[in-house]
Amino acid sequence: MTKIKVALAGQPNCGKSTIFNMVSGIEQHIANYPGVTVDKKTGFFKYDKHKIEMIDLPGTYSFSSYSLEERVTKEFIINEHPDVIVNVVDASNIKRNLYLTFQLLEIGMPVVVVLNMMDVAKRRGIDIDSQKISKMLGCPVIEASGAKGIGGDEIMKAIVDTTNAKSYYEEFKINYEELEPHIQAMEETIHDTTSSLNKRWLAIKVLEGDTTIIKHLKEEYFNIEKLAKKQEDKFHSLYDKDTVSFLATFRYDSADIIYHKTVKENNKGKETLTDKADKIILNRFLALPILFAIMFLVYELSIVYGYKLTDYTWPVLAAFKNFVIDMMPQANFTDIPMMTDFAIWMVNSANALANYIPIFFILFALIAIMEDVGYMPRMAFILDRIFKKFGLHGQSTLPLVLGGAMVGGCAVPGIMATKGIADDRARMATILTVPYMNCLAKVPFYTLLLGAFFKPDMALMMFFISTVTVFIALIVAKLLTSTVLQTRETAPFVMELPPYHLPTFKGVIIRASQRVWVYIYKVITIVLAVAIILFAMLQFPGLSDKSTKKYEQQSQKALETFNVKAQKSTYYFLVDTKDEVSELLNYYDGYRSKRMATTSKKGAIAIDKTYKKINENYFKFIKPRTDKEAKKINKILRKLSKQRNRILRNIKNEKVENSLLGMAGKSIEPITKYAGFDWKINVAFLSSFAARESAVATLGSLYENNKADSQRPEDAMAQNSGYTPLHATAIIIFMLLTPPCIATMIVVKMQTHSYKWMLFAIFFPVALGVLISSAVFTLGSIYSLSGVEAMAYFYFVIVIFALILGLYPDKNINWKGGIKLPIKAKGQYNIYEKSLKGGKIK
């Protein structure tokens, strides 16, 4: 069996991924190209005793050297030597697509052209003579429709046939007329290269100033750049043309020749469906309302309905938790083995994140649909003007919405959606501002604080909280793009608005599943690793001997009380030892937690049955019904359970206070006191780093009143913390800005490909948060403002600042050039070089 390596290339929107999905099925492997965030998808399939490995190259309009995707593509060709290049061409937009085809043919490797979307072309009345194209280009041309599943076999056959006929392959050449002598001179220079690539192609690329190829050849010819420039200058002085635009024009003209000889458009000038739809969707007055409606729909379907869906998936996770607890050694009254504690902690951390999987799946599926339909670039088109002002890009809309620009969201899918932003500076700025959006997991935290300190003004405060974030994000974006991100590469906003297409079900499901898998695989694994560290930091050094003794006495007392009272029941013989009591307690708690995890009546009956089976006597105490003697035990059992929980909570709090994390919280008090934070708040913030949900849990348990058990956490906090509403405002403002959770930080790392930016994404918001909340708290204390007043002042300052920045005229133009400059080939070359060097992509 022979192996064939195939590279799949094509322009964006040509339907390359539907062709890829059609031929390779679900056996796909995703990785990154070395060192960059561009996805590398590989598919494996068999055809006629041949093993075919197909690599889906990133979609590129051209093969020049300025974009990341194109650089990746070229490096792939240089290093991996595919046997065949399959070029997917959008049949309904053949002319521009052929521009790339010519560049691929020039590489000097066998090419198979796939005319995709033939059905769309036919519908639009475009007749294509594919045999003639095949003859003119000297390569097989296959008609296909990826969306309809037509042409898969023919493509595979063509790949195999082309590979088998490799020895008959004759080099493809374009006669570049007046440039020819210069190409030949260049070819002559590199005639003894060890590179196995086609020399003519290398020569042309060098003349084009292609940095990837120049780098490739520089080891052998150190002065290659100089030699190329010499040829370019010579060409320029002879014909007053520069090589780059000469080559582009020549290739476009060649594409034009093919187009005119093989394509007949019967409906030319007629309005297409896309034109009609765009008249409404991009209408000056309707565009924004439609955009908001679509965003609202996406939000509603994914976040709101997805959240409802978690009602059904949560019991599964809860069952998993109970299963793990059952496996672990049982507690002996207040003495819980650390192993069990640890298992519960880990399962809780995993479940907190796994709970979002339904939401993410819906969200990713909707994004895939919007991408396939072609709405994404239109969204960018509509909103670009606003975002441009703040250094962002039209394409930043979706990431910000997913992050929670409207009411709430999650930064993880938000940051993952930044992948498609072409402008590197705007993409970085978007990645770093998405975490400022309203995280859904922060909502319970706000509710707790608002319930405790702002009961009458809850609605107003919630309005401030949910709207101020967008303004903060815009200010931060402007700040970053004009400082640390200033030197990042920017891309001109030259964006295709492709025709609308119906998405394929298979494509959407594959993409959504792949993205969810990335989330599970990368995010959850690392979060668990950090959870272990946090657990250790909360456990050690543990309780002092004195406290251990104190809690032992308390436990003893509770048990004795139980013992005395239990004697009044005829069932006393069942619970007259500590081991028995402890077993009964565990039985009782286990039953309760399982019962709470089920919602159906059927499930409840099943649980009753299993527990009855485990121990029929104990079951009587849990559900005594009419048994008076059992009722007595039931009553004191419930009381004992409460007592036990209280002791456990106290132990936990004391442990936290003495723990490494508690010490850390205390050690930063000197800084945070300006914002009014004590060590307890600090610990809550530190522990919320693992997952924000834990902030509420930590605060809740730290402030719980030890006497009255029925008190709600917000009341407990209001009474026991000693905070004023102004404190609460400072805490809320800090929470608005920070802390980013680790899941988010991991995707920041994934998308920026740099630990440096990840650390920046942690410390910048924290610094900003401490600074602003300190300012608000300090000023608020001086002028004795109430919490709401302080929040209102903060809100208006932010809004006004954002408006000033937005209305301030743009000063910087992102690239060189303009009508004032007389153009010289030499100057152009230098500027081109500079703009490439300026943008470092790691």
Contact residues for other proteins (CB under 8 A)?
A: 61-62, 64, 66, 93, 95-96, 99, 244-245, 248-249, 252, 265, 274, 278, 282-285, 287-288, 377, 380-386, 388, 491-498, 813, 815-819, 821, 823, 827-828, 831-832, 834-836
Contact indicator for 21, 100 with CB cutoff of 8 Å: no
Got the DSSP string for 559-618?
HHHHHHHHTTSGGGGGG-SHHHHHHHHHHHHHHHHHHHH--SHHHHHHHHHHHHHH-HHH
Got the DSSP string for 209-260?
T-HHHHHHHHTT-TTHHHHHHHHHHHHHHHHS--HHHHHHHHHHHHHHHHHH
Closer Cβ to other proteins, 93 or 634, answer by number: 93
Residue 736 CB, nearest approach to other proteins (Å): 28
Residue 310 CB, nearest approach to other proteins (Å): 37
Closer Cβ to other proteins, 61 or 723, answer by number: 61
Closer Cβ to other proteins, 167 or 812, answer by number: 812
Structure tokens at 304: 């709101």
Closer Cβ to other proteins, 94 or 410, answer by number: 94
Closer Cβ to other proteins, 240 or 616, answer by number: 240
What are residue 820's phi and psi, to 5 degrees?
-75, -20
Q: What single-letter DSSP state applies at residue 151?
A: S
Structure tokens at 693: 């949900």
Closer Cβ to other proteins, 201 or 381, answer by number: 381
Residue 265 CB, nearest approach to other proteins (Å): 8
What are residue 185's phi and psi, to 5 degrees?
-60, -40
Residue 751: name the closest of 533, 496, 523 by CA: 523
Closer Cβ to other proteins, 64 or 466, answer by number: 64
- Cα dist. 104→40, 73, 137 in Å? 19, 11, 11
Measured distance CA(658)–CA(538) in Å, rounded: 8
Q: Which residues lie below 8 Å from residue 611, measured CB to CB, with a gap of 6+?
A: 587, 591, 618, 619, 622
Closer Cβ to other proteins, 274 or 351, answer by number: 274
Sign of torsion over alpha carbons 460, 465, 470, 475:
positive
Structure tokens at 16: 């390359």
Closer Cβ to other proteins, 267 or 645, answer by number: 267
Residue 83: name the closest of 166, 140, 200 by CA: 166
Residue 524: name the closest of 742, 759, 306 by CA: 742
Measured distance CA(467)–CA(400) in Å, rounded: 13
Closer Cβ to other proteins, 133 or 432, answer by number: 133
Give me the helix-helix angle, 713-720 and 443-453, nearest 10°.
Answer: 60
- Tell me how far the alpha carbon of residue 149 is from its chain's centroid: 30
Closer Cβ to other proteins, 807 or 819, answer by number: 819
Closer Cβ to other proteins, 152 or 377, answer by number: 377
Contact indicator for 745, 758 with CB cutoff of 8 Å: yes
Contact indicator for 138, 5 with CB cutoff of 8 Å: no
Residue 135 CB, nearest approach to other proteins (Å): 23
Measured distance CA(315)–CA(176) in Å, rounded: 69
Contact indicator for 147, 502 with CB cutoff of 8 Å: yes
- The SS3 assignment for 363 reads helix
Residue 490 CB, nearest approach to other proteins (Å): 9
Closer Cβ to other proteins, 267 or 567, answer by number: 267
Burial 236-275 (b: 16+ CB within 10 A, else e): beeeeebbbebbeebbbebbeebbeebbebeeeeeeeebe
Give me the helix-helix angle, 660-667 and 525-539, nearest 10°.
Answer: 80
Closer Cβ to other proteins, 540 or 815, answer by number: 815
| Partner residues linked to 142 by β-bridges | 114
Closer Cβ to other proteins, 382 or 462, answer by number: 382
- The SS3 assignment for 682 reads helix
Sign of torsion over alpha carbons 354, 358, 364, 365:
positive
- The SS3 assignment for 7 reads strand
Strand order in the sheet with 2-10: 28-32, 39-47, 50-56, 2-10, 84-90, 111-116, 141-143
Closer Cβ to other proteins, 248 or 792, answer by number: 248
Closer Cβ to other proteins, 707 or 811, answer by number: 811
Residue 373: name the closest of 298, 308, 446 by CA: 298
Got the DSSP string for 422-480?
--HHHHHHHHHHGGGS-BGGGHHHHHHHHHHH-GGGHHHHHHHHHHHHHHHHHHHHHHH
Compute the chain's Rg from CA coordinates.
33
- The SS3 assignment for 320 reads helix
Residue 175 CB, nearest approach to other proteins (Å): 18
Closer Cβ to other proteins, 377 or 713, answer by number: 377
Residue 823 CB, nearest approach to other proteins (Å): 6
Measured distance CA(406)–CA(596) in Å, rounded: 33
Contact indicator for 825, 232 with CB cutoff of 8 Å: yes
